């Protein structure tokens, strides 16, 4: 499926950036939605700086990719400017725990998601 996409979109360098993020991440034990969210965050906010738009209210942060990227960017902008950097570090060093959302962003992840949806 990815190979077919690449054949049809040979200039999609953002895809390469996303996949290279996974190489750099090298998380010993990743959290799927955060891993994909950070990779899409790097792609959509750093490499191809554009606002990915609003998230469908029926979506979940656990969908990963763009949905998680927009959510993580919102946390970074509204709660802790170093959130993504710190989360990446925690995942890379095997120190991730769900409680980091409370510690760094002031609420547990599901409460943050509800606040994020209301803020859109």
Those residues whose C-beta lies under 8 Å from the C-beta of residue 71, and which sit 6 or more positions away, are 37, 55, 61, 112, 113, 116
Does the predicted model carry a pTM greater than 0.75? yes
pLDDT on residue 52: 64
Exposed/middle/buried for residue 61 (C-beta within 10 Å: 0-12, 13-18, 19+): buried
pLDDT in tens, 49-108: 776 667 888 899 999 999 999 999 999 999 999 999 999 999 999 999 999 999 999 999
Judge contact between 74 and 67, C-beta under 8 A: no
Four-residue CA torsion sign, 25, 30, 36, 38: negative
Closest CA to 39 of 82, 88, 86: 88
Stretch 4-8: mean pLDDT: 85
Query: What does the pLDDT look like over 39-58, one tens digit per residue?
Result: 999 998 888 877 666 788 88
Span 12-21, pLDDT tens digits? 888 888 889 9
Give the Cα-Cα-Cα angle 60, 66, 68 (nearest 5 degrees): 45
């Amino acid at each position: 499926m990815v190979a077919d996409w690449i054949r049809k979109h040979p200039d999609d360098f953002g895809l390469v950036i996303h996949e290279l993020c996974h190489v750099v991440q090298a998380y010993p034990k990743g959290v799927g939605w955060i891993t994909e969210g950070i990779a899409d965050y790097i792609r959509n906010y750093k490499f191809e700086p554009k606002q990915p738009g609003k998230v469908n209210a029926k979506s979940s942060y656990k969908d990963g990719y763009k949905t998680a990227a927009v959510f993580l960017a919102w946390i970074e902008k509204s709660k802790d400017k170093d959130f993504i950097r710190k989360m990446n570090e925690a995942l890379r060093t095997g120190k991730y725990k769900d409680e980091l959302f409370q510690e760094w962003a002031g609420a547990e992840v599901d409460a943050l998601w509800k606040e994020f949806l209301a803020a859109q």
